[in-house]
Structure formats: C-alpha cells, structure tokens
Amino acid sequence: MKTSVHSEIGKLEGVIIHTPGSEVENMTPENAERALYSDILNLSIASKEYAQLKGVLQKVTRVFEVKDLLADILEKEAAKQQLLNDICTLEKIELSKSLLNTPAGLLSKLLVDGVALERNNLTNYLSNERFWLRPLHNLFFTRDSAMGMNDQMLVGKMANPVRERESVIMDAIFNHHPEIETKVLNPSKPAEGIQISPRSTIEGGDVLIAREDVFVIGTGIRTSTQGIDFIIENIKKSQKEKHHIIVQELPSSPESFIHLDMVFTFLNTNECMVYPPVIFGLSRYRTIHIEIENGKVNKIEEHPNILAALQKLGMDMKPISCGGHVDEWMQEREQWHSGANFFAFAPGKIIGYQRNNHTLDELNNNGYEIIAATDVLDGKVSIDDYTKCVVTIAGSELARGGGGARCMTQPIRRAEVNW
C-alpha cells in the first residue's frame, strides 16, 4: 500500500491502529500522571468499547495493527538489531542478549507491554521501578506517533519522553515493512540542509490536512513553534507550488486542550466540528496564516480564526458546535470527553463517542443520521445507505484516556476528494 493522505475526509483506504492491552493495565494511580493520564482505565470495559471502533473500521477499510506490523519487521535480523539499538540508546539501557534472541512475535509484545525489572542486583532491588522497559500506555492513540502528509509519513517528535519509543517503532515500520511504501520524514533524522531545533516537537493530534496544499496545525504543549518551523523548512526545500499552513495557538490547560483535534476537526467538504470558546472566543490565542512558495515564506499574517483563514483559501466551512449552542457548561463537559474529536472515514461520514448527546443532537440538526456502531456490526444498518452519518461508539471508559476516534486512528491512505 502506497501512503497517500491529501485530506482529513477522503474515503479511508488504509489505517493503523493499536488495540489496547496489558500495557494499559500496567498503570497505577502513582504513575498515571507520568504516563500522561488523569485516571487509570478498566481494560475489560475499554476493550469492548474499542472493539466497536475496530469493527466499524474493518467494515469500511483495510486495518493494520501496530503489533502485527512490528512483528513482521522484527523477523528481519538487520531491522531488529537496528530497532533494539535505537530503543536502548533512547532509553539509556543496555541491550540484553535475551531480547535479541526473543522470537519476533513475543518481542513485538514486550516492546509494547513492557519488560519487568529483575531484582538481581542491589540497584534493581532498591529501585522503585517495576519495569526495565516501561509499557507504552499511550500507544492506542496511534494518531500522534506518525501522520500522513500527502504522499509522505511524518514521524512524530513527541513532547514527553514516555512516548518517544512509539515514534521509533513507527519509523522502523515505515522504513522496513514490505507492505507499506512511503517516504519517511523524521524530525529526529532531518534531511541534509534542514536545521532542527532541540525544542522541536510535533504530534499528530495537532496536524490536520485540510487540503493537499493547506495544513492546519495547532501549537501548544505538544507541538512547538520550532516543530512547525521544521515542516515549513521541508516544504520550502521540496515543494515549488504554493502551500499554506494555518497555525492555531492552543491553551496550555486543561489537558483536554492538548491537541488541536480536541477543539477542531473536519467532518465534510464544507463542515467542521468546533469547540467555540477556543476557536471563536475572545482570547489571546492567535490564528496565523503562513504562505510558502518557490522555496520561501511569502507572508505571515493573522486571521480572526481558523474558519476565516480557510475561507480566504477558498474553503468555506460551516461550524458545528461541540456541546451545542445552549449551554457553555455543556460545551465544556462534552469537550472534556472528546466531543470535538471526530474521525471522518469518508466525506460526511464520521465516528465519535455516543456519550456526547448534545454534540450528537447538533450533528443531527445539521443532517447527520445517528447510527449506533452495534447496529452496524450486527448488520441492522448499512453505512452505504446514508449520505451523512455519525457512527457512535461506546466511550464510558475509553474517553477517560483523554482522546477520541481521531486520536485512536492513523490513516495511511485516503481516496481523493471531489472538492
């Protein structure tokens, strides 16, 4: 499969996910904050909810699991050696022979689930750590560790060390897996002539592909301005045609604002979901339009908001409000549970949590038929029968992890959009 992601809404043809497993259970209230969670999840419930998301995706596209892709590349001795060296260097641990001799399938599991610390010397005996190699608690949010940008995959440069191994794994998959063909853009391995600041961070939750020549990127606690500068420099170097980046500043708190896709997502060719207090509120959070052409930045200017900037570029977007229009308290409550975080698997066909009733009512008032994922999976309804619909998945537990359907999906191929 050749990667191709030229929009947020094109018909989905390939997506990478990770079904949460024991790595989620290997978290306690004590280490939850370090793992970037505000609470710990009940895996048995989260797994049932996630099965609805995965089941719907399997109905509409080809689905790849990170562990399967990882196991495949670990069958190659050179790729295995390189990946283990990169991980051990990153995490400042010594590469053990036992890992090198571990079968690919089991090794893939260990690199995600974690490796327990053996209490075989004084240092380890006195350590407060449970793991020699920590679990990847956040891996089921596959959106952040890599993102499709037209015909290339941009590997994330994570803001927190606890997530850096996710990007190392995705970089290895895109470089070595025989079923995926792509050009890899990695801020940790910049191309010749591209300068990278040590302050550069880029996460996929902040990067939205509005159109092949228009990127909407959030900057805040997860994606730095220096990270966006890295994207600018690569566009200058590789593209002569005019490209646009619309940058949206984000609040630093609460944690529900960590990424742009928690307050703004594309739904259709002419509709988007917004959390009004951040996108339209009278605040100090600026929206900046950057135009790049023929290897240079032509202009940088401010706009009132994202929609105004998109309109200048010929993209008229109707905003649909997360939490509805009636009560700002309800907007805040539903945004906290990823009420703005929708994932489009085709123009006007989206997936989101069923718990956000006011948001769903607002979508319904704008012509979106509300369909339960269980009805789709049981064959009671067909997505193909609808022009516009939102497929709702259970989210009483998953939402507590701090992300929604977009956070849990990493598209690698979409069909072109008839704009």
**Residue 282, in any domain of the structure:** yes
Contact 120, 132 (CB under 8 A): no
Instruction: Indicate whether 3 belongs to any domain.
Output: no
pLDDT confidence tier of residue 39, bands split at 50, 70 and 90: low
In a domain, 222, yes or no: yes
Confidence (pLDDT) at 36: 46
1 within a domain of the structure (yes/no): no
Instruction: For residue range 226-257, list pLDDT tens digits in order.
Output: 999 999 999 999 889 999 999 999 998 777 78
CATH number of the CATH domain containing 352: 3.75.10.10
Q: Quick one: residue 367, left, alpha or beta (phi over 0 = left, psi -120 to 50 = alpha)?
A: left
pLDDT tens, 323-362? 998 888 899 999 999 999 999 999 999 999 999 999 999 9
* Distance from the first to the final alpha carbon of the chain: 24
The number of folded domains in the chain is 1
Buried-state track 115-146, b at ≥16 Cβ within 10 A, e below 16: bebeeeeeeeeeeeeeebbbbbbbbbbbbbbb
Task: With respect to residue 76, please indicate whether it lies within any of the assigned structural domains.
Answer: yes
Residue 113: domain span = 12-414
Three-state DSSP state, 378: coil
What are the backbone dihedrals phi and psi of residue 42, each rounded to the nearest 5 degrees, phi first? -90, 105
Does residue 373 form part of some domain? yes
Q: How do residues 121-177 score in pLDDT, each as one tens digit?
A: 998 899 888 888 999 999 999 999 999 999 999 999 999 999 999 999 999 999 999
Per the domain annotation, does 6 fall within a domain? no
**What pLDDT is recorded for position 41?**
85
228 belongs to a structural domain: yes
Q: Is the confidence at residue 28, as pLDDT, over 70?
A: no
- The proportion of the chain whose per-residue pLDDT surpasses 90, expressed as a percent, equals 81
Whether residue 251 is preceded by a cis peptide bond, meaning omega within 30 degrees of 0, is: no
- What pLDDT score does 237 carry? 92
Token couple for 274: 């917004």
pLDDT (0 to 100) of residue 31: 53
